[in-house]
Amino acid sequence: MAVYTEVSDEDLETFVAEYDIGDVQSCKGIAEGVENSNYLLSTERGNFILTLYEKRVDPADLPFFLGLMDHLAAKDFPCPTPIHGRDGKALRHLCGKPAALISFLSGLWPKRVAPEHCKGVGGAAAKMHIAADGFKLTRKNGLDRATWQGLFLQTKERANEIETGLAAKIEAELNFLDNNWPAKLPSGIIHADLFPDNVFFHHNDLSGVIDFYFACNGSFAYEIAICLNAWCFEDDGGFNVTKAANLIDGYNAVRPLTPAEIAALPLLARGSALRFLLTRLYDLLNHPEGALVNPKDPLEYLKKLKFHQSAKGPGAYGLGKP
């Protein structure tokens, strides 16, 4: 929820003149996206999203992100399409920052998740995994397991300020995951941030997926693990197994999970919970005074991690043999 860069009218007009989208009618900063500045730009040709990439996005990754959206849209996956200028380019600069114009995707993200939404996001994840096949670029997950130890080292001294004993809990989990991480699973390109605010619906029908700025190469089942954490817990911390079953059903209907993937899910769910626990902890401890974005609660993910630690196998997720 932020607009970090204010764009002058002259700069905006110069920028928009590179595209064949008509005259600017309005441009409003929108309260979405933690990482970048986003504007809803209306022109004679319709609505667009103008994104200025702020410091947390590595400019070297932008050809991957924008190219992936182009690739997916060409395969009819419902995602924003980068608009290309008259010079063919989708990536240019505005106010000294990398910037791109992307198509506007209609729909609302679900503030209250229903099982139907979980089915929708499961299906969309599988469709994306398949549609991304053939995309030529690759990107390493900047927050994969190899980075967790480093995040822990940067937070361990102050972790107990947030909850007594937190550092020891994280360390034990890191050790457990190191010793038990599954062997190579089917992999390809994953979204890696399929939270409800990145998935739009018309009523219960999925209309599109946005925000590909964490997309990377990774195992498909790890995407499901992220979704289990992001979509299937209630506000009171309870795990909703109906939502989990819908999520997996939605996925399976498009790309059936292999037995190895199913067996690995509880562990991947632990890993994904630890990843968000660590990044939220880091963000909270390094939250700048007067920042526009309030940090998210890391302990939400400690609770989720505890659920996964206590899960006795895929059955806890409504999975496995009936």
Distance CA 270, CA 281 (A): 16
Binding its own copies by CB under 8 A: which of 53, 148, 200, 282? 200
- Is-contact 291 283, C-beta < 8 A? no
Q: Could you give the CA distance from residue 179 to residue 269 in angstroms, rounded to a whole number?
A: 15
Nearer to its own copies, 4 or 176 (CB): 4
Residue from 17, 20, 31, 59 binding its own copies (CB under 8 A): 31
Yes or no: say if 57 and 41 are a contact pair by the CB < 8 Å rule: no
Q: Give the contact letters, 39-78, x = binds to its own copies (CB under 8 A), - = no.
A: -x-x----x-------------------------------
Stretch that binds its own copies, among 22-30, 75-83, 171-179, 255-263 (CB under 8 A): 22-30
The C-alpha angle with vertex 218 and arms to 213 and 224, in degrees rounded to 5, equals 85
3-state secondary structure at position 218: strand
Give the contacts of 303 (CB within 8 A, at least 6 positions apart): 233, 237
Our CB check for its own copies shows the closer of 74 and 292 to be 292
**Residue selected from 25, 160, 164, 180 as contacting its own copies according to rule CB under 8 A:** 25
By CB under 8 A, the residues from 1 to 20 that bind its own copies are: 1-3, 6-10, 12
SS3 164: coil
| DSSP-derived 3-state class of residue 238 | coil
The answer to whether residue 236 forms part of the interface with its own copies (CB under 8 A) is: no
The verdict on 154 binding its own copies (CB under 8 A) reads: no
Q: What's the CA angle centered on 66, arms 249 and 102, to 5 degrees? A: 90
> CA–CA separation, 209 vs 199, rounded Å?
5
- Rule CB under 8 A: say whether 131 interacts with its own copies: no
Assess 110 for contact with its own copies (CB under 8 A).
yes
Per CB under 8 A, 95 contacts its own copies? no
Judged by CB under 8 A, which of 34, 84, 103, 107 binds its own copies?
107
Binding site for its own copies (CB under 8 A): 1-3, 6-10, 12, 23-32, 40, 42, 47, 104-108, 110-112, 200-202, 290, 292, 294
